[in-house]
Amino acid sequence: MINTIATEIRRSTDLINNVNRVEKLIGNTPLYPIKKVYHKEGVQIYAKLEWQQLGSSVKARPAFNIIKNAVLSGNLDRSKSLLDATSGNTGIAYAAIGAALGLKITLCLPENASEERKRILNSLGVDIIYTSKFDGTDGAQLKAKELAKAYPDKYYYANQYANVHNWEAHYLTTGREIWEQTNGAITHFVAGLGTTGTFLGTSRRLKAYNPNIEVVSVQPDNPMHGLEGWKHLETAIVPKIYDATVADRTLEADTLEAYDMVKAISLKEGLLVSPSAAANLNSAIQLAEQIEEGVIVTTFADDASKYSEVMQHIFDGKR
């Protein structure tokens, strides 16, 4: 009995030590100045290059914070599998962090997720449960909830859409980093809405530093958009963590305009970014056109590495 307890303590200590080690690989992404795609005297636009961390996207921050708090609270160890719904990026972040920590990951994923995402998740040892392509991430969420209820001893249900550690991750890291990297000069923050964690947490932290900073959320302009991971909130299941009072205003993003911007960023800035990153930059430029001076910061959630089919259409002119 004593030996068993000692073994469990060692395993727990080892896991917590690994959490502390992995934490050093999360966040602290560079702030990139946009110079060639857009220029206006008196206005600066910067983008956080969020793929430059373990997990390869902005979702590494909430994925790690969710896992860290679950481990420290005793709700997640190597005997359970972390369960969640994802469109891809959070899942990949869970998988990369889980692999580094020796944790099992189970993900509910729409069957029409890109082949790149499926290959990455499989290579990282994820147990994938495919859901209907017609139901999108909303259907994946419902399946995850069903599994969590049916098998409470098997799964720790992370529920990124309702987990406060999602937006908290950006409050603790992204907002602080932006403030420090701009030396407190930021005047506007722009970000798209998916789980809404990036926008909420970053905005709340920036407002705590300076209430006069304007925070602008971005949504797709219609339900049948092509911005993977984003939500058209009027027609989707609204994440429980979302707070509509945080945004000072909201802009709409056009998918085809985002595709055009992907190409422009590549040719003029030398960055291969995702359509959602390009949509964020389009919105930042739209905002820049409305002000005389300021420092605008947005996020490039991920690069183009998981969007080969979309990139082929964009660069071959077949979209």
CATH classification for the domain delimited by 22-55+164-316, as one of 3.40.50.1100, 3.30.300.30, 2.102.10.10, 3.40.50.80: 3.40.50.1100
Predicted structure pTM score: 0.93
Phi/psi zone of residue 107: left (φ > 0), alpha (ψ -120 to 50 degrees), beta? beta
Q: Residue 109's beta-bridge partner residues?
A: 130
Instruction: Detail the DSSP E strand segments found in the chain.
Output: 31-34, 43-49, 81-85, 104-110, 127-131, 155-157, 188-192, 214-220, 249-253, 294-300
Task: Cite the DSSP H helix spans in 124-236.
Answer: 136-150, 164-169, 175-181, 197-209
Burial category of 224 from C-beta neighbours within 10 Å (exposed 0-12, middle 13-18, buried 19 and up): exposed
Q: What's the rounded Cα separation, in Å, for the pair 237 and 223?
A: 12
Centre a 10 Å sphere on the Cβ of residue 114 and count the other Cβ atoms it contains. Answer: 16
Q: What's the rounded Cα separation, in Å, for the pair 79 and 131?
A: 25
The CA R_g of the chain, rounded to the nearest whole Å, is: 20
Instruction: Give residues with Cβ within 8 angstroms of 205, minimum separation 6.
Output: 170, 171, 172, 174, 175, 176, 179
Residue 88: its pLDDT value, please?
A: 83
> Does an H or E element contain 91, and which?
helix 89-101
Q: Where in the chain is CATH 3.40.50.1100?
A: 22-55+164-316, 59-157
The residue with tokens 């994802």 is 86
Residues 106-129: pLDDT tens digits?
Answer: 999 999 888 888 999 999 999 999
Residue 306: its pLDDT value, please?
A: 87
Which parts of the chain sit beneath pLDDT 50? Answer: 1-9, 319
Query: For 59-157, CATH number?
Result: 3.40.50.1100
Residue 10: its pLDDT value, please?
A: 55
Q: Which of these, 16, 64, 84, 93, lies nearest to 173 by C-alpha position?
A: 64
Residue 152: its pLDDT value, please?
A: 96
